[in-house]
Structure 1
Amino acid sequence: MRMRHRTSRQAVVLAAVAALGVGLLAGCAEDSKEPGGSGDSGKKDAKGKTTITVGVFGAFGLKEAGLYDQYMKENPNIVIEQTSVERNENYYPALLTHLASGSGLADIQAVEVNNIAEITATQSDKLMDLGKVSGVDKNNFLDWKWAQGSSKDGKTVALGTDVGPQGICYRKDLFQKAGLPTDREKVGALWAGDWNKYLEVGKQFKTKVKDAAFVDGAQNVMAAVHGSSENRFYDKSGEVIYKTNPVVKEGWNLAAEFAAAGLSAKLQSFTPAWDSGFANGDFATISCPAWMLGYIKDKGGDTAEGKWDVAAAPKPSNWGGSFLTVPEAGKNKEEAAKLAAWLTAPEQQAKFFAERASFPSAKAAYDLPEVKDAKHAYFGNAPIGEIFAKAAEGTPVQILGPKDLIIAQNLADVGMLQVDQKGTDPDAAWDKAMKSIDNALDQ
C-alpha cells in the first residue's frame, strides 16, 4: 500500500493515504516535479562514496522501514538518496517521458502494479534485466508476481516489493447479532470457494440485522471478484476482452445483486462516510488486503476495537503492490541493481512487512518469523501472516494490460457506483460503462 493518489477502486486508496499516520499508512511524502533523482546519480563525494538515487511515489515505505539506513551501514561506500512524487498520476507520465529521452532518471525507479503491464510491454529495452543480477532468485518470488514484472521475451525488468492479498474483514458483533458464527475459520467456511456463497450469507445476515449493511459498496465486491480470476480485461495475446469475458460480466452481475438485495451500504471507498463506517458499524464485511488492516484500525479507533476480525476470502485475489526497476541509462546501474536485488530479497521484504505492513511478494519470506508468526491485536490476534500468505500463494497469475486502470475505473465509477447509489438499471449502467471505456481506449 502506497500514497499513490488515484480514483479507481483498485488504487483509490492512493488518494486517501496522505491524511493517515499509522503503521503502513504513515509518512506523507513531499511532492516533487520529477519522478527521478536530484541529478546526483553517479556522483562520488569527497570521501569516494557513490550516491544511488531512488525515485518513488508517495510514502513508498522502504526508507521509512529503515532499509536504506541498513544498506548504507552494511555498504559504507554507498549513499542512498530518495525523491518522491506524491501522486502517481504525476509520477508515472513523467517516468515514461524520461525513459523515452534517457535522461532525468533515478538509478532505481518504482512502478505501481497498475502500470507494470505497460512498462514490460513498451519499456523493457530501456530497463536492466534484473533476473540476471547476482542474488536474485526467481524461485523466491510468487510465480504471478515474477510474471507481472517480466516481458513476453522473458526479460525480468521489475522486481516485486510487495503484494496485496485479500481476505474478508468482518464485524464479530454484527455477525453475532445475525446469528452467524464469529470464529474466523467458521466464517471463512461459510463462503469458501464461491463468491455466490458470500451473497447468500449476506441475505441471511439481512433477515436478522436491519441497522447495518452486509458490505460497504457493490463496486468493491465486483473488483474483488474480478481480482480472483486469471482472465479479466485482457487475454494472453494482449487483446482487450472486457466486453466479452464472462468473468467480467459475472462480477458485474453479482455486485448488482448485492445492490438489488439491499446488502450494500452504498459507500464509495476513501470518502468520509466510508471512513466513519468502520467505527459506526455501518457495514459488516469488506474485502481487505493486508495493508488495509492498518487503515481499519485507524478509522475504527477505540470505538471498534475488539469488534473486527479477518477471515479468508471466497477466492484468493490481489489488490495492490509495486516493483523496482533499474533504467539502462542510469550512471550507476550495476550498483543500483545490487541495491534493488537486496531491497527485494526475502529478509528485507519480511522487515518491510513488520515495519510497514506491506505484504511480501517474495514467497520465501513467508517462513520467516516476521511473517509466519505475525498476528494483529486489533483483529483479535488474527494470524495475518498465515492468512495472507495462503491468499497470496493462491492468487492466479493474472493477465495484466496497459489500460487495466482505466477499464476498472469506468466499470466502478461510471457503472456500478451508479447502480449502487442511484438505483440505475444494471444493463443501462453496463452499456454506459462500456461506451465510456471504448471512448477512453479509442475503440
Structure 2
Amino acid sequence: MKNSRHTKTAAALAGAAAFALLAVGCSSGASSAEPASSDNPVTLTVTTFGTMGLDGLYKQYEADHPGITIKATNIDTGGNALTDWKTKQAAGAGLPDVQAVEEGWLGQVMAVSDSFTDLGQYGAADIKDRWVSWKTEQATDSKDRVIAYGTDIGPVGLCYNKKLFKEAGLPTDRTEVAAALGGDDATWANYFETGKKYKAATGKSWYDQSGFVWNSMVNQLPEGYYKADGSLNIEGNTALAERWDELAGGAAAGLSSGQTQWDWGKGKAFVDGSFATSVCPGWMLGVVQGQIEAAGGNADSGWDFADVFPGGPTNWGGTFLTVPTTSKHPAEAAELATYLTDAKSQVAAFQAAGTFPSVTAAQTDPGVTGSNELSKFFNDAPVGEILASRSEGVKAQFKGANDSVIQEQVFGPATIALDKGTDGKSAWNDALTTLKNLDLK
C-alpha cells in the first residue's frame, strides 16, 4: 500500500538507522528443543496492525495446539506499526515471533531480508500455490528465500452513499452507479465530472479527501514512485504529473471534503453527509463500518459498495506475516503463520474485517462470495463477488525502499495543501522540494 494501511506518519530512513537494520540481519533465532506441549509450553508473540481480522483465530489455534499461548499486540495504524518495527529492528531487540508487514514496507523489508526467517525451511515450497502468484513473488527476496506468507490483498471498489446520490438525482442502484461512471471503462475524468454535477446539485463534497484518491491513482500506474529497477520515478514522470493535475482540478472544484485521514471526525463525516464517495479497498470496508458505528450510525446510514473504480483495476495494500530471525521459536512461529494464512483462516478474516484473501481457494469460498455481516451492512452488496471482480487485471507494482515515506512525507502534505486551497502547481513543486530535501533513494 502506498499510504500504508491505516497509515499516519513514518520517519525517513536515516543512514545510521539503515546500517543498524542491516546489522540486525546477522542475528538468528533457535527453535525449541522439543515441540510445544502442555509439558513444554511456548508463548508466541504476534504483532499486527489496523483491522486484519485475525484476532478471533488465536483462541482456536491455542485450543488445537496444547502448550501454545499467543500474546498478540495490535498497533492502531500501519504508520505507527512501521515505526515500531523499524525501531525494534534497528535495536536488534523486541521483535515478536510473528511480525505483520505491509505491502508499502516491502522495499525496506527486502533491504534487510536476511533478518527474516527463510520459510522454505518450514514447508513454504509445499504451499507456494496457495496464493495468487504475484503475492508469493512479492514475498520472495533476491536470494529466492520466501520470507513471508500473504494474508490479504487490496482490490479497490467504490463506496458510495445511495441516500446522498438520490438527493442529487444520481442513480442509486449499484449496477447503475457502475454504469454511470463508465463501468469497465471508468475514468478519473468521468469521476470528477460526475462529482461536479453532485456538487452543483447538493453543494456538498464528492469524496472525503485527496490523499486516498491520489494513492489509488499512483497505484494504477505500471510504475509508481519507483521504476522496476529501483530508481526514483517522480521528476519527469509525465503520467504521474497528469494525474496530479486531475486531482488538483477536483480539489479546486470543491470536490474534496478535506477530512483528516483515518479519523473522519471520529466517523461523523460518514453519517452527516459530508461526502458521497470514498475509495474502498476490501480492508477499508471494515474501517468504514467501524467509523459509521462509532458515530452512532448503522446499516441504514446509506452506504453501498459498487463494482467500479475510476482508471481501472488497482490494488491498495495487502499484508504479510513474517518470522524475524530473532524469534526463539521459529518452527512454531512458522506453523502459526501457516495457519493464519490458510484458506479457512482467510475466510474468517474476511468475514471479520473485509480483508480480501490472497489465497485463491478462499476467494471462491461461499464464506467470501455469499452473504455475511459485512455485506449486510453495505446494503446487501455482494462484497466478496465485487472484490473478486475488482481483483481481475491487478498487477503488483514495484515498491521501492522509501515508497511509504514518499507517500506520507512528500505527497501527504501536498494533498492536504490541495484540500486547503493551494493550487496544483505550487503543491507539486513543494512536494518536489521536500523530496529533494529528504535526499531519498
Q: Provide the TM-score with structure 2 as the length reference.
A: 0.83
Instruction: Tell me the CA shift for residue 173 of structure 1.
Output: 1.8
Query: Moved runs in structure 1, 4+ residues, more than 6 A?
Result: 43-46
**CA spacing shift, 1:273–1:326, aligned 2, 3 Å:** closer
- 2:240 alignment counterpart: 248
CA distance in 2, matches of 1:132, 1:346: 21
CA distance in 2, matches of 1:259, 1:171: 20
The superposition leaves residues 397-441 of structure 1 with CA deviations (integer Å, 9 ceiling, x where unpaired) of 1111121111111343321221221x2121111111111122223
Counterpart check, 1:206 vs 2:184: no
- 2:87 alignment counterpart: 94
Map 1:328-367 → 2, pairs under 5 A: 328-367=325-364
- 1:402 alignment counterpart: 401
1:13 paired residue among 6, 30, 54? 6
The superposition leaves residues 237-264 of structure 1 with CA deviations (integer Å, 9 ceiling, x where unpaired) of 1111122333322331111111122222
Higher RCO, 1 or 2 (CA under 8 Å, sep at least 6)? Answer: 2
CA distance in 2, matches of 1:393, 1:187: 20
* Structure 1: gaps of 5 or more residues: 1-7, 17-38
- Structural RMSD (CA): 2.9
CA distance in 2, matches of 1:150, 1:202: 41
- 2:22 alignment counterpart: none
1:41–1:52 contact (8 Å) kept in structure 2: no
> Any idea what SS the aligned residue of 1:427 has?
helix
**CA spacing shift, 1:200–1:368, aligned 2, 3 Å:** same
**CA spacing shift, 1:59–1:238, aligned 2, 3 Å:** closer
**CA spacing shift, 1:295–1:104, aligned 2, 3 Å:** closer
Instruction: Tell me the CA shift for residue 75 of structure 1.
Output: 2.7
Counterpart check, 1:305 vs 2:300: yes
**CA spacing shift, 1:412–1:117, aligned 2, 3 Å:** same
Q: Provide the TM-score with structure 1 as the length reference.
A: 0.82
**CA spacing shift, 1:252–1:234, aligned 2, 3 Å:** same
Instruction: Tell me the CA shift for residue 335 of structure 1.
Output: 2.7
- 1:284 alignment counterpart: 276
Instruction: Tell me the CA shift for residue 15 of structure 1.
Output: 5.6
2:304–2:378 contact (8 Å) kept in structure 1: yes
Map 1:152-231 → 2, pairs under 5 A: 152-189=142-179, 190-192=181-183, 193=185, 194-210=187-203, 212-231=204-223
**CA spacing shift, 1:272–1:219, aligned 2, 3 Å:** closer
1:148–1:400 contact (8 Å) kept in structure 2: no
Q: How many residues align?
A: 407
CA distance in 1, matches of 2:299, 2:243: 30
The superposition leaves residues 308-355 of structure 1 with CA deviations (integer Å, 9 ceiling, x where unpaired) of 111122222233332111234433222322221221111111112123
CA distance in 1, matches of 2:170, 2:215: 25
> Any idea what SS the aligned residue of 1:170 has?
strand
> Any idea what SS the aligned residue of 1:13 has?
coil
2:40 paired residue among 46, 49, 66? 49
Instruction: Tell me the CA shift for residue 379 of structure 1.
Output: 1.4
1:373 paired residue among 370, 381, 406? 370
* Structure 2: gaps of 5 or more residues: 10-28
- 1:19 alignment counterpart: none
Q: Residue 428 of structure 1 aligns to which amino acid in structure 2?
A: S
Instruction: Tell me the CA shift for residue 225 of structure 1.
Output: 1.1
CA distance in 2, matches of 1:323, 1:218: 27
Q: Residue 416 of structure 2 aligns to which amino acid in structure 1?
A: L
- 1:145 alignment counterpart: 135
1:232–1:245 contact (8 Å) kept in structure 2: no
CA distance in 2, matches of 1:368, 1:142: 15
1:165–1:317 contact (8 Å) kept in structure 2: yes
- 1:257 alignment counterpart: 249
> Any idea what SS the aligned residue of 1:156 has?
coil
Q: Residue 283 of structure 1 aligns to which amino acid in structure 2?
A: F
2:159–2:305 contact (8 Å) kept in structure 1: yes
2:225–2:233 contact (8 Å) kept in structure 1: yes
- 1:123 alignment counterpart: 112
CA distance in 2, matches of 1:49, 1:387: 46
CA distance in 2, matches of 1:401, 1:411: 14
- 2:388 alignment counterpart: 389
1:169–1:310 contact (8 Å) kept in structure 2: yes
Instruction: Tell me the CA shift for residue 172 of structure 1.
Output: 0.9
Counterpart check, 1:109 vs 2:104: no
**CA spacing shift, 1:55–1:381, aligned 2, 3 Å:** same
CA distance in 1, matches of 2:290, 2:53: 21
CA distance in 2, matches of 1:304, 1:425: 38
- 2:20 alignment counterpart: none
The superposition leaves residues 209-238 of structure 1 with CA deviations (integer Å, 9 ceiling, x where unpaired) of 22x111122232211111222310111111
> Any idea what SS the aligned residue of 1:415 has?
helix
The superposition leaves residues 135-156 of structure 1 with CA deviations (integer Å, 9 ceiling, x where unpaired) of 6533321233222222234322
CA distance in 2, matches of 1:334, 1:40: 9
